[in-house]
A = this chain, B = another copy of it.
Amino acid sequence: MDLKSLSQRLGLSMTTVSRALNGYEEVSEATRTRVMEAARENGYRPNPVARRLALGRAEAIGVVIPNPPGDFADPFFIELLAGMGSVFEAASLDLIVTAAPEGPAELPVYRRLVEGRRVDGLIVGRTRRHDERIEYLLDRDFPFVVHGRTTTSRPYAYLDMDNAQAFVTATERLIGLGHRRIALINAPAHLAFAAGRHDGYERALGAAAIAVDPSLVVVCDLSEQDGHRIALSLLDLPRPPTGILCANDTTALGAMRAVKSRGLVVGRDVSIIGYDDLPFAGHTDPPLTTMHQPIRPAGARIAEMLRARMSGTPPEELQEVWRPKLLLRGTDGPCTTAGGTAR
């Protein structure tokens, strides 16, 4: 059932039927209801491809999953997708998902999407401090929304978490519990959120007049293994930390394993705070204290922002920063070590 046969059946022109269906003002109420009804009865569905060609739009949004080659893809992302899904579904926009490993193969994927007119808008995640994908999209004046923030002089739309504030909060929590030697297991510096977290950490220490000990600030590749490795090296320090802030929950998991393997008790001998609040975080042993961020709502909001961007809202008006919330569970506790040092 296409537009032509539907209009023939109604004794109307395709134009009128099309207009009635698309809610144009100039159609009489009588014919509109008549058309609507006939469309429903005949199960008419406009052919999206024809529509797209006529309108010159793709009616689709693109997302590229950052796909670590050997590794498991970020479980985080599925939740973000789920959040966006409902919004795009309602707008009857297709969400086109592709996967690309970070690296030289990544930009070509974006080019194919943009230059091949496959999508009308793009969502950029796992943002880097300097991000060529964003520069590229900015150059082409292509609509997009970033999850996170990057360094560029040009305005762009983003939804970011307040990483600095989050780590101020987390650090203050440990300080309030009496900790003085607090380590930061941070993400690699090329990732956008690493800097903010570091800032927040230093800011909170500074406010409490605690000197930053560079040996307590280390970089991790965000895997459990690396978190484990790094936490061990931290515990091997002459004056090991009594509190550890982690870049994400996965890292925190590794750190917990390290602490336990040393015969220490997490939450008593060493406090640990994670970031993300992934599904497993409430179920570790002990349950992980972490910074919670609402991923699915963020996905939905990003989708809405992109729709706004595509219909012309200037990027300056589409910039939001959300605050993660500290979720107290069982891995943080008062500092029990005299002199503020474990063991």
Contact = CB atoms under 8 A, between A and B. Distances in A.
A185 to B, nearest CB: 15
Contact of A279 (B48, B75, B78, B95): B75
A60 B98 CA distance: 12
A86 interface: yes
A254 B279 contact: no
Interface string A143-158: 0000000000000000
A58 interface: yes
Interface stretch (A115-123, A176-184, A210-218): A115-123
A116 B85 contact: no
Nearest to A96: B94
A288 to B, nearest CB: 12
Contacts of A224: 279-280, 282-283
Contacts of A82: 65, 67, 73, 99
B73 A97 contact: no
A260 interface: yes
Interface stretch (A49-57, A186-194, A309-317, A331-339): A49-57
A9 interface: no
A307 interface: no
A279 B72 contact: yes
A253 B283 CA distance: 7
B58 A85 contact: no
A89 interface: yes
Specify how many copies of this chain sit in the oligomer: 2
A74 interface: yes
Interface residues of A, number: 50
A100 B79 CA distance: 13
A227 to B, nearest CB: 9
B99 A96 contact: no
Nearest to A224: B283
Contacts of A282: 224
Contact of A99 (B77, B81, B254): B81
A113 to B, nearest CB: 9
Ranked 8 nearest A-B pairs via Cβ: A85-B99, A75-B75, A78-B78, A72-B279, A73-B82, A97-B97, A49-B52, A82-B99
13 contacts: A45-B115, A45-B117, A47-B116, A49-B53, A72-B75, A77-B78, A82-B99, A85-B97, A94-B96, A94-B118, A95-B98, A224-B283, A280-B280
Interface of A: 43, 45, 47-50, 52-53, 58, 60, 65, 67, 72-75, 77-79, 81-82, 85-86, 88-89, 94-100, 109, 115-118, 224, 250, 253-254, 256-257, 260, 278-280, 282-283, 285
Given A49-B53, A94-B96, 12 more contacts: A48-B117, A60-B96, A65-B85, A75-B78, A77-B78, A81-B99, A82-B99, A85-B97, A94-B98, A224-B279, A254-B283, A257-B285
